[in-house]
Structure 1
Amino acid sequence: MTDMMEQEKATAAAWFRTLRDQIVAAFENLEDTQETGPFADQPAGRFEVTETKRTADDGSDAGGGLMSVMRGGRVFEKVGVNISEVYGTLGPAAQRSMAARGVPGIADDPRFWASGISLVAHMQNPHTPAVHMNTRMFWTPNAWWFGGGSDLNPCIEYDEDTAHFHAVQKQHLDPHGEDLYPRLKEWADEYFYIPHRNRARGVGGIFMDDQCSGDWQADFALTQDIGKAFLPAFVPVTEKRRNTEWDDADKETQLQHRGLYAEYNLVYDRGTKFGLATGHDANAVLMSLPPMAKWY
C-alpha cells in the first residue's frame, strides 16, 4: 500500500468528519430557531454522540466511528448523522458480491478499508420531508471507488420542494460534466425503487456507486460536491415547511410512508446489508429506521 493511498484515505475520512460537523451544527441551529408549533415549548434537540467499535472475528480492532442521533426535537423527530472508518477482511459472501460487481482480485486478497458519512432525518411535521444522504470511499488492494448521493422522501409532496432539491444537486454536479446530473438522477430513480410496491420510496435525487475514473482527485472532488449540495438542497425546504399546520390525517400519511422507507432499507439497501454482514455496530447500521411507522 503506497504512502499516497494512505494519505488519500486519511483525506477522505477527514472530509466525511468535516461534513458531519457542518450538518450537525446546521441541524441544531434549526432546532434553536424553531419558535412556533406544537413542539416549540420543549428544549431544542441536541445530538447524542456515541463512539462505535467494530471487532474482527479474531478479536482485533477493525475500526469504528461516531453515531450522532437526535430524538424528539422541535423539528426532527429522529435524525442520525454517522461517520465510520472500518477495515479488515471481507467474508465469503461480501467477496462474492464484490466479485460480481467487477472488483478485481478480491478473492486473492480480500482486505478492505471503507469510510463514509450516512444521514437519515425523520421530521416532526408531516409536511417537512424526510431525507437521506451518504457518501463513502471504499478501498481494496486492487481497486478503490467512491459512492453515495442524496434523495428526498416527502410523505406529502410539493412540486416546488422537489424542484428546489433537484436544482441544487444539478448546480453542484454540472461543473463535473453536464451529463452527470441526468445520469445520477436516473441511477437514483432506479436504486431507490421498491419493486414489491411498484413505486419509488420518494421523489428521487442523485446516486452513484463504483465511481473510479482513475483520477482520485477528480472523483474525490465530485464526492465532496455531492456532500456540499446537501444542506442548501434540504435546509430551505425544511425552513419553508416546518411551520405548516398539520392534523391527525397528515400524521397518519407520514407513518404509512415511513413503513415504505423501512421496507426499502431492510430489504434492498446495499449499505444496510454490507454493514450488518461485516459486523459493524447494528445500532449504527439501523439508525436509518424511523422512530414510528405503520403498516396495513
Structure 2
Amino acid sequence: MTEAMQAERARAADWFRSLRDSIVAEFEALEGRQTEGPHAALSPGRFEVTETKRRSDDASDAGGGLMSVMRGGRVFEKVGVNVSTVFGALGAQAQQAMAARGVPGMETDPRFWASGISLVAHMQNPHVPAVHMNTRMFWTPHAWWFGGGSDLNPCIEYAEDTAHFHATQQAHLDPHGADLYPRLKAWADEYFFIPHRGRARGVGGIFMDDRNSGDWEADFALVQDIGRAFLPAFVPLVERRRNQSWTEADRDTQLVHRGLYAEYNLVHDRGTKFGLATGHDANAVLMSLPPLAKWV
C-alpha cells in the first residue's frame, strides 16, 4: 500500500470521527432545549460512550471504534452514533459475499480495511420521524470505494417534512453533478424496501455503494457532503415536531412501524450482515434496533 493511500485512509477515518462529534454535540443540545411535553421533567439525555473491538482469533485482525448511545432522553428514546475502523482478513462468509459482488481479487486475497459512521435515532414523540444515516470507506489491496446515505422513517408522515429532508440532500449533492441526486434517491427507494412486506420502510432518502469514480478526492468530497447534509436535513424536523401533542393511538402506530424497521435491519440490511460476519461488536452492530416495538 502506498503512503498516499495510507494518508487517504487516515483522512477518511478522521472525517467520520469529526462528523460523529458534531452530531453527538447537536443531539445533546436538542435534549437541553426540550423544556415542554411529558418528558421535559427528565434529565437531558447524554450519550454513553463505549469502546468497541473487533472480535477475531487472528492476531493480524484488529480495530474497533466508539459506540455512543443515548437512552430515555427528553427527545430521543434511543439513538446510537457509532464510528469504527477495522481491518484484517474477511471470514469465509464475508469474503464470498464480497466476491459475489464483484470485488476484484477478493476470491484469493481477503485482506480489507473499513471505516465509517452509522447512526439510527428512535424518537420519543411519534410525530418526530426516526432517521438513519451512515457513510463509509472500504479498501482492499485491489480496490477501494465509498458508500452510505441517509433515509427518513416517519410513522406519521408529513409531506412538508419529507420535502425538506429530500431538498436538503439534493442541495448538498447537486454540486457533484445534477444527475446524482435522482440516481441516489432511486437507489435508496430500491434498497430501503422490505420485500416480504411489499413496502418501503420509510419515505426514502439517498443511498450509494461501491462508489469509485477513479478520483478518490472527488468521491471523498461527495461522501463528506452526504454527511454534512444530515443535520440540516433532520434537525429542523425535530424542532418542528418535538412539542407536538400525541395520543396513545399515535404511540401504537409508532411501535408497529418500528417493527417494520427491525425486520428490515435484521433480514435485509447489508451493513448489519457485514458487521456480524466480520466479528465486530454485536451490540454496536445491533444498536439500530428500537428499544420497543410491536407486531400486530
Range into which the TM-score falls when normalised by the shorter chain = over 0.9
- 1:125-274 aligned at under 5 Å gives the runs 125-274=125-274
Aligned AA for 2:120? V
Following superposition, the deviation at residue 59 of structure 1 comes to 4.5
Superposed counterparts of 1:63-74, under 5 Å? 63-74=63-74
Distance across 2 between alignment mates of 1:3 and 1:186:
37
- Asked if structure 1 preserves the Cα contact closer than 8 Å seen for 2:149 and 2:206, the reply is yes
Describe how 1:9-24 pairs up with structure 2 within 5 A: 9-24=9-24
The ranges of structure 1 where at least 4 consecutive aligned residues each deviate by more than 6 angstroms after the TM superposition are: none
Which segment is superposed worse, 126-135 or 99-108?
Answer: 99-108
Give distance in 2, aligned partners of 1:188 and 1:246.
30
Does the 8 A contact of 2:55 with 2:281 survive in 1?
no
Q: Which residue of 1 aligns with 2:124?
A: 124
The separation in 2 between residues aligned to 1:51 and 1:92, in whole angstroms, is 26
Task: State how far apart, in whole Å, the 1-side matches of 2:3 and 2:61 are.
Answer: 22
Distance 1:9 1:55 in 2: 22
- Residue 131 of structure 2 aligns to a residue in which SS? strand
Q: CA deviation at 1:91?
A: 1.5
Secondary structure of the residue aligned to 1:178 is coil
Q: Per-residue displacement from partner, 1:93-113 (whole Å, max 9, x unpaired)? A: 212211111111112211000
Name the SS of the counterpart of 2:292 in structure 1: coil
**Matches of 2:95 and 2:46 in 1, distance apart?**
39
Verify: 1:83 aligned to 2:95, yes or no.
Answer: no
Following superposition, the deviation at residue 60 of structure 1 comes to 5.1
Aligned partner of residue 103 in structure 1, secondary structure: coil
> When the two structures are superposed, what TM-score results if normalisation uses the length of structure 2?
0.99
Which stretch of structure 1 is more off in the superposition, 89-98 or 141-150? 89-98
Checking the alignment, whether the CA contact within 8 Å between 1:71 and 1:78 is kept in structure 2 is yes
Letter in 2 for 1:145: W
In terms of mean alpha carbon deviation, does 56-65 or 143-152 score higher? 56-65
Name 1:110's counterpart in structure 2.
110
Find out whether 1:3 has 2:30 as its counterpart. Answer: no
Distance 1:59 1:211 in 2: 30
Q: Would you say 1:287 and 2:287 are equivalent positions? A: yes
Equivalent-residue separation in structure 2 for 1:55 and 1:275 (angstroms): 11
Query: Are the counterparts in 1 of residues 61 and 89 from structure 2 also a CA contact under 8 Å?
Result: no
Alpha-carbon distance in structure 2 between the residues aligned to 1:61 and 1:190:
34
Q: TM-score, normalised by structure 1?
A: 0.99
Q: Give structure 2 stretches of 5+ with no counterpart.
A: none
Query: Percent identity between the aligned chains?
Result: 79
**Matches of 2:61 and 2:87 in 1, distance apart?**
9
Deviations 1:237-267 (A, max 9, x none): 0000000000100000000000000000000
Moved more, 92-101 or 43-52: 92-101
The count of aligned residue pairs is: 296
> Offset at 1:54?
1.1
1:55 CA displacement: 3.2
SS at match of 1:202: coil
The answer to whether residue 35 in structure 2 is matched with residue 26 in structure 1 is no
